[in-house]
Amino acid sequence: MAHKKAGGSAKNLRDSKPKYRWVKVFGWQNTVAGNIIIRQKGSKFECGKNAYLGSDFSVHAKIDGVVTFSKKKVVRFDGRKYLKTIVDIK
């Protein structure tokens, strides 16, 4: 009679694939239209001129150019102030 011995004893051996998030093209580097500049979860980085946000919050380049990062003060709905990083392409 064929059977597996101790078939369900190890439950914790699976692991998810890495997501490889964060900055792919750094400041003052050249980029091509359509390239991914940042892979992120949520909107920590915002899009400025000539950049757009993908459906998974990744920041893409609209045109060929040089990537620049800048800071902008933002006021939240509860009155707290904090800095947002803006991605521009020149």
Q: How confident is the model at residue 11 (pLDDT cuts 50, 70, 90)?
A: confident
Instruction: Please answer whether residues 12 and 26 qualify as being in contact, where contact means their C-beta atoms are separated by less than 8 angstroms.
Output: no
Sheet holding 45-47, edge to edge: 30-31, 65-75, 81-89, 45-47
Q: Sorting pLDDT into bands at 50, 70 and 90, what band is 14?
A: confident
- Statement: residue 71 has pLDDT above 80: yes
Mind listing the pLDDT tens digit for each residue in 38-68? 999 998 999 999 999 999 999 999 999 999 9
**What pLDDT is recorded for position 12?**
75
DSSP letter assigned to residue 1: -
